[in-house]
Amino acid sequence: MAQSQTTSQSKPVNVFTNRRMAVTLLLMFASSFPLPLTSSGTTFQVWLKRNNIDIKTISALTLVGLPYSFKFLWAPILDRFVPPFLNRRTGWIAIFQIILMICIGGMGFLNPLSDMTWIIVIATCISFFSASADIVIDAYRVDLLRPEERGAGASMVMLGGRLAFLSSGALALILADHYSWRTVFLIMGSCMSVGLLTVFFAPAPEVVVPPPKTLKEAVVEPILSFFKKQGAIEILLFVVFFKLADTLASSLLSPFLVELGFSNTDIGSVNKVFGLIVSLMGGLVAGAMIPRWGIYRSLWYFGILQAISNFVFVGLAIYGKSYGWMVASIGVENFCGGLGTAALVAYLMGLCEQKFSASQYALLSSLTAVARTVLASGSGILVATLGWPKFFMLTVFLAAPGLFFLKRLGRFEKNVAR
């Protein structure tokens, strides 16, 4: 189908002067910003670890991120109904940014040792409204970008996401070394104003498709339409498993670095700032190579690289605390992870139909979150049983299912551009 022939014939896109790219970047910043503050996020985990919460509890708390895995359930509602202000997408974005601002700021008034129940409630609320914002931001991006802009758009998604992780991850940790956690969460909450302000100058899509006329149409038709694709089941399984190795390796990386003896500033400046830079380099390299290689070959090359890059953490776990080894390990893993993420984002954008972009992209991106939440929730038990070196070794081989389903997708040229 035409929409899935993504970037093989792309024209160069000037990402510095293209308004659509700027809005894509800023809204992706808003979309990604809450993640380090909940679930498997760096800041959330370090906050708990510094308050002597055990590693099994920390890994189990990744389950508060389950709304990311099930957001497809309420995506049809956001596809069907239009807020009374702004438009079908930006109105919802504004609502969710305001709610997130309040919830994130409120987290700072809780104590992990005495308020764990409320922490779970607030963290789940943040995950729910962040996942809801993801639905409409992803749908807006699918509606907004032209087919030839998807490769560059994937790079902007990488940039916006990494800048968000830098702010709510690295910056938050560095601030936590100098200020109270309450102050840190209040500052982080105020940063949600970026997405709120962006919606007021966000352009409308060139082709405006009316929303589904009924809720039944919004629920049933996107699913039926998607499953008419050849290899629909293989697509869904591939999306679940493609980032599994990369996600599991990074799911407990912050507690791992804390156990090795690194400070909050070390973790923030290297794991987030330096990691951001090399991850962006990976995303930009992927954006340049996808038009030349096509999506299918890019997914193969980058999928293999992001898996074998986890070997660097095996070395770090065996060697012990070493600043140089930590920098090298994080550099290699983030660069290769950036390659894989950019290719996957470009692929997902090409699969969605504009009329049902919220529901279909929510379904696909929900599946990418399964590895981060459900599958990663037991990683603490694996670490306690195997130890860090064997755990990281295991993550390398867990890339096999994703590559297996990618091979099966190669039979369907309509759904994987070559």
Number of C-alpha atoms within 13 angstroms, CB side, residue 29? 23
- pLDDT category at 305 given cuts 50, 70, 90 is very high
Residue 196 has pLDDT above 90, yes or no: yes
- Band the pLDDT of 98: cuts 50, 70, 90: very high
Q: String of b and e for 311-350 (b: at least 16 CB within 10 Å)?
A: bbbbebbeeeeeeebbbebbbbbbbbbbbbbbbbbbbbbb
Check pLDDT > 50 for residue 21.
yes
| Alpha carbon distance 272, 164 (integer Å) | 10
For residue 154, name the pLDDT band (cuts at 50, 70, 90).
confident
- The whole-angstrom separation of Cα 398 and Cα 221 is 34
- Tens of pLDDT, residue by residue over 239-259, are 888 888 888 888 788 888 888
Residue 123 pLDDT: 92
Which one-letter DSSP state was computed for residue 212? P
| Under 8 Å between Cβ of 108 and 182 | yes
Query: Is residue 4 very low, low, confident or very high in pLDDT (cuts 50, 70, 90)?
Result: very low
Mean predicted lDDT score pLDDT of the chain: 83
Tokens standing for residue 317? 């776990």
Q: Is the model's pLDDT at 416 over the cut of 80?
A: no
CB burial of 42-65 (b: ≥16 within 10 Å; e: otherwise) equals bbbbbbbbeeebebeebbebbbbb
Collapsing DSSP to helix, strand or coil, 217 comes out as helix
Cα–Cα distances (Å) from 314 to 279, 327, 329, in that order, read 20, 14, 9
Q: Which domains does the chain carry?
A: 15-409 (1.20.1250.20)
- Token output for 197: 């302000």
Instruction: Supply the pTM of this predicted model.
Output: 0.69
- How would residue 122 be classed by pLDDT, with cut points 50, 70 and 90? very high
